């Protein structure tokens, strides 16, 4: 991540000199407004950890080629997950190894493609050595609200022709 001295005051996503950068800090009242919206309109109740806000006043700006790479990595990880699930479902020894109760073995079918009808949200984090994938969430639809609200909200404050639509906008 660039430090404050490296950030441009007129940064645009289209002209980022690096793969990513931090945008201009939001005013305290704007950040509180975002937090209220996330809490009351989008069901995000974990905006604080240990009494401290986890929301950054500075939006993360990601260059389009970097964003496309992250999307391809998420799609590849999803495909790998589906392949592993298929392999486990087809092998009773693997089902036993992961602790799946025997009375459920016949319910799980290796060719059950309807199991792919779910959402997966991969959490990538930038580090000094590259992006790290920390987890995948498939059981919490709340991520759609926060993942849609923040790009829409921040898109109004960032000068760009290439802002990314939130996921809800893509499926409506």
Q: Are residues 83 and 52 in the same domain?
A: no
Distances (CA, A) of 109 to 79, 87, 93, 106, 128: 17, 10, 14, 7, 42
Main-chain dihedrals φ then ψ at residue 122, nearest 5 degrees: -95, 135
- For residue 1, is it within any domain? no
What is the maximal distance between C-alpha atoms in the chain? Answer: 61
> Which secondary-structure segment (H or E) carries 49?
strand 48-49
Q: Take residue 54 and report the two structure tokens written for it.
A: 């986890």
Q: Take residue 24 and report the two structure tokens written for it.
A: 């201009």
Q: Are residues 52 and 110 in the same domain?
A: no
d(CA 144, CA 121): 9
Query: What's the pLDDT score for residue 49?
Result: 84
The pTM score is 0.70
- For residue 163, is it within any domain? no
Provide the residue range defining the domain that includes 53. Answer: 18-62
Query: What's the pLDDT score for residue 8?
Result: 37
In sequence order, which residues have a C-beta less than 8 Å from that of residue 121 and are 6 or more positions away? 136, 137, 138, 140, 143, 147
- For residue 144, is it within any domain? no
- For residue 25, is it within any domain? yes
Q: Residue 128 burial (CB < 10 Å; 0-12/13-18/19+)? A: exposed
- For residue 4, is it within any domain? no
Q: Are residues 98 and 113 in the same domain?
A: yes
Q: Are residues 52 and 73 in the same domain?
A: no
d(CA 172, CA 77): 25
- For residue 129, is it within any domain? yes
Tally of structural domains, the chain? 2
- For residue 168, is it within any domain? no
Query: What's the pLDDT score for residue 6?
Result: 39
Q: Are residues 83 and 55 in the same domain?
A: no
Residues of the chain with pLDDT under 70: 1-16, 110-117, 139-146, 152-172
Query: What's the pLDDT score for residue 59?
Result: 84
Bridge partners (DSSP) of residue 49 are 52
Query: What's the pLDDT score for residue 1?
Result: 37
DSSP reduced 3-state for 65: helix
């Amino acid at each position: 991540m660039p430090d404050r001295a490296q950030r441009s005051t007129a940064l645009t996503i289209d002209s980022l000199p690096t793969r990513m950068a931090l945008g201009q800090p939001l005013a305290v009242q704007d950040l509180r407004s975002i937090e209220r919206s996330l809490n009351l309109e989008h069901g995000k109740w974990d905006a604080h950890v240990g009494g401290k806000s986890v929301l950054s006043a500075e939006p993360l700006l990601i260059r389009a080629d970097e964003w496309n790479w992250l999307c391809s990595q998420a799609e590849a990880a999803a495909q790998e997950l589906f392949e592993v699930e298929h392999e486990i479902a087809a092998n009773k020894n693997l089902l036993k190894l992961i602790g799946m109760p025997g009375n459920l073995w016949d319910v799980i079918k290796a060719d059950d493609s309807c199991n792919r009808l779910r959402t997966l949200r991969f959490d990538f984090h930038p580090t000094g050595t590259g992006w790290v994938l920390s987890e995948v969430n498939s059981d919490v639809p709340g991520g759609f609200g926060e993942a849609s609200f923040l790009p829409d909200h921040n898109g109004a404050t960032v000068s760009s022709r290439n802002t990314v639509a939130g996921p809800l906008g893509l499926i409506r």
